[in-house]
Amino acid sequence: MKRPAAVWGSCIALTLFFAVMILGGRDAARDIRTDTQLRAMADEVARSRTLQLNNLDKPYFVQYSISDADQLSIKASLGGLISSSRSRFRAPRIEVRVGNYTFDNTNSVFSGTARVGAFPIDDDYQAMRTAFWLSSDAVYKLATDQITRKRNAIREISDPDHTPDFAAAKPVQIVRPVQDLRLDAQHWDSVARELSARFASHPNVLTSEVAARLISSTYRVVNTEGTEIRIPQDLSELEVRATAVAADGNRVWNHRFLTVLQPSQLPDEAELEKTVDSVATETEALAKAPVAGDYSGPVLFEQEGAAQLMAQVLASAARLQRKPVAPAGSDAPQIIESVWSSRMGSKVAPDWLSIWDDPAAEQFHGTALAGAYQVDDEGVPAERVSLVEKGTLKGFLLSREPVRDFKQSNGHGRLPGAFGSEEAVLGNLFVHADNAVSETKLKAKLLERVKAEGLKFGIIIRRFDFPSTAGFEELQSMMRQVQKGGYVRSVNEPLLVYRAYPDGREELVRGLRFQEFSAKDLRDVIAASDHPYVLNYVNNGTTMNRAGGGSDATSSSVICPSLLFDNVDLARAENEPGKAPIVPAPTLIPIPREPSAGMSAGTAETSLRATLLQ
């Protein structure tokens, strides 16, 4: 479900994950009346039906939603805390639609999503109702202006689109007990210190950081259709980042995001230490790696790289966008449609490949799925959606915004979209191959293609910059290269790229970027492995899914095996070399210290702390 950016500092995602239990009848009614927030929301929603200014349109749909969050955010570098903060707040969203389901104030260039300011964190019924009343009044006045301007614009259009603006939905009541996830700030301060100190053993790493973000939250929704929801939500993420500078002055960067539902689901101490160490050693290796040249040929996307690839190309391909109403002759916003928008019933992938989205799946082979949820932000129960069956396109992810021949939601409206709509977003995306082979055989197939085509090597991609942590200079360089090449669609820069030679050797290289690439290229997949990888990640709907970007976010999961593509075009990155620091870095010495209470109990290993040599 979507969340305001403040929930995780600049951006944090919350997800919906719980045992299926719906309290109905008198139990639900009792819980609603004893929950001060829900009672204030329900009472003010009922009163909002009377909103009307002079002879202007009355509201036909009003929805209030609140994320009631307790957040812990910690950052550390080289064994020292950079920041450690805890906050409690409530982030509301108010939606008022005037007109009717067929024609309302949304889906025009004049439409947008209204933002609401601070909200009481005390359970003060009168204070909350007053806040709802004032905000509803302002949003209603804005909605009446939007529908008036939309009507005026349509009068100038000779053949306007008559697709309805909003799909009706059956009311849903889901009332779950409020949970209190105890967030131990002292424990996580110590964890961040200990893990970040491990970078002291890697002097060629220029900058490094370990961040822990933990959320305990309750999400509430009430609308005029009768939907009433209270759902506890938890999400935790551990982030490891590192950068270095190559001999040619170019910056290299690397990261790992560990996204889970609860802190207890994070890997144990030994695995966390391995993760930090691997990011550090990979970053140092990237700084020493040769710069790659242009490449065209077979590419193997392994495990994490394959899941990250599918997360990127299917985020836009699996949903449809609607062109907003705009005044005749005006510069209407450019909508980049799904590459599959006109392909329903056609082949979009090999016959042995199927893709579906199943938000009800809570685990996959023992791994919790962060994209699990029961009902979306628009109050619609989530449905399993078959996107591709045996290579044939069968459907799309849909919100309550009708698009073309799709008039009803399938419960995937999870982020605020453009022009007052809700954006359809991935939940748990599954990619399944019928004729799967082992990882070893898949790499052998790559080398067979390399030999058959007379190439010196093939390419293996094991990690993308996804979510992206690219710096401003890298982003500028990428945009210039995209514009120069005339690309419409591409994917983020790969971080871990290897040349795979016919004799089995591998060589890490840097500085490669994709040219035009989208879900259309899934037709070039020639083989897949039998070992799916689970990718849990924060999904904010921004270009490149920038880490910390966007004003709202949710979480998604992709379950995907390694994929071998017959041909992919890669180009050398056109970076402008930076400048290394003038003064050499201070020498860091890892000094043994006693194991802290913050790490897992029972460990016999010695922790490290970075110390400066004078």
CA triple 483-489-491, angle to 5 deg = 100
DSSP code of residue 6:
G
**Cα gap 278→285, rounded to integer Å:** 10
**Cα gap 96→83, rounded to integer Å:** 39
**Cα gap 51→56, rounded to integer Å:** 10
**Cα gap 346→392, rounded to integer Å:** 5
Report the DSSP beta bridge partners of residue 547. Answer: none
Report the DSSP beta bridge partners of residue 555. Answer: 538
What pLDDT score was predicted for residue 520?
96
State the DSSP H helix or E strand holding residue 269, giving kind and residue range, or none if neither. helix 269-288
**Cα gap 507→526, rounded to integer Å:** 24
Q: Look up residue 236 and give its amino acid.
A: S
Pair 275, 239: CB distance under 8 Å: no
Collapsed DSSP state (helix, strand, coil) of residue 228: strand
What pLDDT score was predicted for residue 27?
66
Tell which residue, 234, 210, 543, has the closest CA to residue 370: 234
Give 524's contacts (C-beta < 8 A, 6+ positions apart). 565, 566, 567, 568
Q: Which two tokens stand for residue 564?
A: 């071998």
**Cα gap 135→115, rounded to integer Å:** 9
Domains of the chain, start order: 3-288 (3.30.2290.10), 295-319+342-572 (no CATH)
Give 376's contacts (C-beta < 8 A, 6+ positions apart). 1, 382, 399, 409, 411, 412, 413, 414, 422
Neighbours of 595 (CB within 10 A): 17
Rg of the Cα trace of the chain? 25
**Cα gap 20→176, rounded to integer Å:** 9
Counting as low any pLDDT under 50, the low residues of the chain are 3-24, 596-614
What pLDDT score was predicted for residue 261?
87
Cα 136 to its chain centre, rounded Å, is 29
Per-position DSSP letters for 133-195, written without gaps between them? HHHHHHHHHHHHHHHHHHHHHHHT-SS-----S-------EEE---------HHHHHHHHHHH
Q: What is the pTM of this model?
A: 0.90
Report the b/e string of 436-446 with b at 16+ CB within 10 A: bbeeeebbebb
State the DSSP H helix or E strand holding residue 513, giving kind and residue range, or none if neither. strand 512-514
Cα 252 to its chain centre, rounded Å, is 23
Tell which residue, 374, 2, 22, 538, has the closest CA to residue 217: 2
Collapsed DSSP state (helix, strand, coil) of residue 216: strand
Residue recorded with tokens 């719980």:
18
CA triple 204-205-207, angle to 5 deg = 145
Neighbours of 604 (CB within 10 A): 5
Q: Which two tokens stand for residue 612?
A: 């400066």
Q: Look up residue 402 and give its amino acid.
A: P
Tell which residue, 560, 562, 500, 565, has the closest CA to residue 526: 565
Residue recorded with tokens 């045996």:
390
What pLDDT score was predicted for residue 8?
39
**Cα gap 527→139, rounded to integer Å:** 52
**Strand ranges, E, within 520-562:** 525-528, 533-539, 552-560
Neighbours of 65 (CB within 10 A): 21
What pLDDT score was predicted for residue 587?
78
Largest CA distance in the chain: 80
